[in-house]
Amino acid sequence: MDPVAILIAFLKIFLVFNVLMGAVAFMTWVERRVSGIIQYRLGPNRVGPWGLLQPIADGIKFIQKKDIVPDDAYVPFYLMAPALAVVPALFAFVVIPFGPEVVLFGRKVPLVILDMDGGLLWGFAATALGVYALVLAGWASRSKFSLMGGLRSSAQMISYELPLVLSIVAVVLMAGTLRPTEIVAQQAGWFWNWNVCKGIPFLGFLLFTIAGYAETNRVPFDLPEAEGELVAGYHTEYSGMRFAAFFMAEYVNMMTSSALGVTLFLGGWQLGFPVALEGWPLWALQIGAFVAKVAFFQFLFVWVRWTLPRFRYDQLMNLGWKGLLPVSLVNLAATALLVTFDFNVTR
């Protein structure tokens, strides 16, 4: 293999990993500040300007904490679970195109780490493995609260993965490809070319967003942790950096879910309007557009979290199996009809 290509691949991985981790730290600050504003209080504002250095203080605190392993815990799985939470979350981001193909030192570099034919499936396969962390953490802690959290998470993930994947299948039907870069390329030009603006797919977008909240265990679907009943759910027994790893995984999962939604429905890195620029100014603007769209989704996550109460368990299951699943099947059938008879679907 070409050594420069390998170097570029490493650089991209390094860049994406660090930006993601930085974004996770920043998001913990955003979440606490926004929740403060929503609840008419200030939130953390003492460490650094506007409290911006709070995540660093938190990180130092996490590292200093004692790493507690309960006596009854099944040690191998107990220690492994936090890593199992973070790694699949990061894996999924590999296939997401975060920018156009740029020219760097006379070499064409597509701004995606792995551009493969089944890219979308890769993303979902990776996120599907994330549930093991929650289940194993819950089981290995040997605590009833943790176990309940783990059980709930496995049931919830299975229930909401179906509508999630079915909403994607509809998009794939329209796009005729599983390659994320091609799906983004098809949404070029004005913003009405974005999948979300093509009529029926808007329903898919709603389904994807709702199921995405359930898959990332965010309010109103945070039953695996449900602090009111389960203390902290599957990570009740964890402390220090191991707890922080679960926390990080949740935020990385939010980013991945947002980025997938942006790629599939909101045109990925496309600006949504033509501009008279080319070269680096245009590319920088497009990368900025991707970041802005993902940031909007992140804000939405926080907004919803501090607006809606948590579902009851039976409500959660009813919504998943009797609400979202039938609607997503209808969505799929409607999209299939549109594609078959070629109604206003531009391929």
Partner 1 sequence: MDAFAFYVLALLTVASALVVVTHRNPVVSAVALAFNLVSIAGFYVLLGAQFIGLLQVLVYAGAIMVLILFVIMLLNLAEELPPVKVAGTFQRVLAPAATLTFAVVLGRALWRDTPATLPPASEGFGTAAVLGRELFTRYYYPFEVISLLLVVAMVGAVLLAKRKLT
Among 15, 56, 158, 285, binds partner 1 (CB under 8 A): 158
Q: What region, left, alpha or beta, does residue 130 occupy, with left being phi > 0 and alpha being psi -120 to 50 degrees?
A: alpha
Does residue 154 belong to the site contacting partner 1 (CB under 8 A)? Answer: yes
Shortest reach from residue 202's CB to partner 1, in Å: 25
**Does 166 interact with partner 1 (rule: CB under 8 A)?**
no
Given a contact cutoff of 8 angstroms between Cβ atoms, the answer to whether 257 and 216 are in contact is yes
* 151 sits near partner 1 (criterion: CB under 8 A): yes
Please tell me whether residue 112 binds partner 1 under the rule CB under 8 A.
no
309: its two tokens: 């109460």
Alpha helices in 109-239 (DSSP H): 119-129, 131-140, 144-175, 180-186, 201-215, 227-230
In angstroms, what CA-CA distances link 326 with 203, 322, 345?
Answer: 12, 6, 23
- The residue type found at 189 is G
Does residue 104 sit in helix, strand or coil? strand
Distances (CA, A) of 339 to 54, 160, 169, 273: 50, 25, 12, 26
147 is a site residue for partner 1 (CB under 8 A): yes
> Tokens 């909240």 belong to which residue?
213
Q: Which of 29, 78, 98, 124 binds partner 1 (CB under 8 A)?
A: 124
Residue 35 makes contact with partner 1 by CB under 8 A: no
Shortest CB 122 distance to partner 1, Å: 6
Query: Can residue 155 be called a binding residue for partner 1 (CB under 8 A)?
Result: yes
Among 9, 47, 121, 300, binds partner 1 (CB under 8 A): 121
Stretch of residues binding partner 1 (CB under 8 A), selected from 10-18, 138-146, 262-270, 271-279: 138-146
Contact call for residue 79 and partner 1 (CB under 8 A)? no
| Residues near partner 1, by CB under 8 A | 74, 77, 116-118, 121-122, 124-125, 128-129, 131-132, 135-136, 138-139, 142, 147, 150-151, 154-155, 157-158, 161, 178
